[in-house]
Amino acid sequence: MRVVVAGAGTIGSLFAAHLARVADVAVLTRREEHARALNERGLRVTGRADFTVDVHASADATELGAADLVVVACKGGDLEPLAASLRGRFAGATVMTTQNGLGAEEVVAAHGDWPLLSAVTFMSGTRHDDTHVEYVLDTATWIGPYRGTTPIDAESVAELIRSGGLKAEAFDDLRPAQWSKLIFNATVNTVATLTGLPHDFHFAEGMLGDLVHGLVDEGKAVAAAAGVDLREDPWEMNVHATRRGHAHYPSMLEDVNAHRPTEIELITGSLVREAERTGVPVPLHTALYALVKAKEASYS
Amino acid sequence: MRICVVGCGAVGSLFAANLAQLEDVEVWAYDVSREHVDAINAHGLRLSGAGDVVGRLRATTDGGELPPCDFGIVATKAMHTGSAIAATAGAFEGGCVATVQNGLGNEEAIAEHVARVIRGTTFPAGKILEPGHVQWDVKGDTTLGPFEPEPAPFAEVERLADACTRAGMPTAAVQDARGPQWRKVIFNASTNPIGALTGLTHGRVCERPDLRRLVSGLVDEGKAVAAAQGIELDADPEALIDHAARPDVAYGHKASMLQDVEARRTTEIDYLNGGIVRVGREHDVPTPLNQAIWALVKGVEDSWTK
């Protein structure tokens, strides 16, 4: 089994390291020195696991050889150029997207006719440097068929991921899970980004809790209009996550604090566009969409 | 005539130093900052910028030291109204007290301690440069009127307005001062927190179409709450917002709430968007956007104490 992990941020590094324990893994990086460091030192995981593996890495997709599976794990904002670099390669491979929000599958599909799987991941970590990632939350990755694939294909990739030591689950239809996470992210990540609060008790009570509840309700109305039956209630996901014991800093808040572009377009942007398409009013998400984009503009 | 400015920050200093130019007015100032009070007593209160003035007046941190006054002008931040008027109310047993503060609820807080209250709204602005020295950024008009539940006699409102006008702070006395007050509250509530949440200056907020639409959404809710109370705005807050966005007016101005957030000081959000939401509830007018913005800025304040 040969796997290419495209994108070596936190999520890509966690996939690459764990899969390298059960498969032959090559990593596509954005920066050449990142690839060099991985080739020289391997990839180290700490936190919920503790091991170091050898991986082959390159910043040039033409040097990675063939693959049975390509896991696209870059940030949403890097997706288009990364997908373009895959064009014409990896014939016979199945390609799996893992980005937040909606629409990553369409971006990749436009660059080749690979069979596609769609995934959302709830695991989290902290990237300490180019060759060291800490595995923090061991929550699952959910996988479903998207184009030219079946639930059996989704299950075989989930089984591969599980055998590497991560949690994964396959679904006949990913959309109910994907939309649950979309509404959760569109709500929690934006509120955290604008307030500077980690995802803690403030999100489940008082005035901020009311706002979070209002945002979730708007999201649920859009899902209903789009014909999606949510797998989990995003409000329950929110309350549950605030009781986990340690307060998580959503990646969008970390992006803003580091003055990086955020994933607002794939997350809230997707939800607002779906709302427009289905004719559902989403004044709160529209407000937060404008505010987060403006916050990005304040430092770019 | 004796006038005491209660809360001698930037706006209070504009009134105090200018009124001290009048021969028939004796000016006192009450402020909690010992350095500011000492500097005023030692060297006078200096304004620079839109006008260059040095006012000779008596300042104190002890409300008990104040002599009986004909007028008070309260100019603290809205969250300090209650404590400031409680500390100074003894000086106003025979006088009238006006507010020139931001937000909603200041008149009510003053009326808990004082019998004759004047509703007020002022547009001049500045900032404290150092103790005893204030930068006067913007000139502007002030409107005063009786606070209906505990009103000052209209002749007294006119007497204070006349003194302010003669001192170089153009002030109108009107029977119903709610129109200008709500225009300014709606302006502040619809723009200040947007700057505070995004880090953008007023002009940059207004040139982003999606953000400008959000501002208008907040304005519309505020207008509906004003209309439900029978308040007629003296002008459209939208016009004030667009005027302020001009490069020669306040394009590059960081809203005071953004300055507060950057310095991690408690903001006036409870008296702006919070005030609009509260009054909206009393009149069954929904204000979901103001409520959302109120919650977000309270969240920002909460993030500092974690």
Least confident residue range of A166-180, B51-65, B250-264: B250-264
Task: Residue count of chain A, please give it.
Answer: 300
Inter-chain CB proximity A195 and B299 less than 8 Å: yes
pLDDT at A245: 72
Q: Is the pLDDT of residue B238 over 70?
A: yes
Q: What angle do CA A102, A108, A109 make, to 5 degrees?
A: 100
- pLDDT tens-digit readout, B47-56: 999 999 999 9
Average pLDDT of the segment spanning A63-76: 95
Please compute the mean of the pLDDT values over residues B138-161 and round it to a whole number: 95
Q: What mean pLDDT do residues B257-261 have?
A: 93
Give the B-side interface with A, CB within 8 Å. 194, 197-200, 204-205, 208, 210-211, 213-214, 217, 288-289, 291-296, 298-300, 302-303, 306
**SS percent in chain A: helix, strand, coil, step 5:** 50, 20, 30
- Among B211, B295, B306, beta carbon nearest to A207: B295
Q: Are the Cβ atoms of A210 and B288 closer than 8 angstroms?
A: no
User: Poorest-confidence range of A187-196, B237-246, B278-287?
Assistant: B237-246
Average pLDDT over residues A50-64: 96
Interface mutation target, options B197, B200, B205, B262, chain A, most CBs of A under 10 Å = B197
Nearest-neighbour CA in chain A from B19: distance (Å): 40
List pLDDT tens digits, range A135-145: 998 999 999 99
SS (H, E, C) chain B: CEEEEECCCHHHHHHHHHHCCCCCCEEEEECCCHHHHHHHHHHCEEEEECCCEEECCEEECCHHHCCCCCEEEECCCHHHHHHHHHHHHHHHCCCEEEECCCCCCHHHHHHCCCCCEEEEEECCEEEEEECCEEEEEECCCEEEEECCCCECCHHHHHHHHHHHHHCCCCEEECCCCHHHHHHHHHHHHHHHHHHHHHCCCHHHHHCCHHHHHHHHHHHHHHHHHHHHCCCCCCCCHHHHHHHHCCCCCCCCCCCHHHHHHHCCCCCCHHHCHHHHHHHHHHCCCCCHHHHHHHHHHHHHHHHHCC
pLDDT at B306: 58
Range A122-132 burial, b when 16+ CB lie within 10 A, else e = bbbbebeebbb
What pLDDT, on the 0 to 100 scale, is given for residue A67? 97
The whole-number pLDDT of residue B252 equals 86
Kindly indicate the confidence band of residue B249, based on its pLDDT and cuts at 50, 70 and 90: confident
Q: Do B211 and A208 touch (CB under 8 A)?
A: no
Q: What percent of chain A has pLDDT over 90?
A: 93
- This complex has an ipTM of 0.90
Give the pLDDT confidence of A6-29 residue by residue, as tens digits. Answer: 999 999 999 999 999 999 999 999
State how far residue B110 is from chain A, nearest Cα, in angstroms. Answer: 27
pLDDT, residue B169, reads 97
- Per-residue model confidence (pLDDT) at position B197: 98
Over 70: is that where the pLDDT of B217 sits? Answer: yes
Strands B53-55 and B45-49: antiparallel
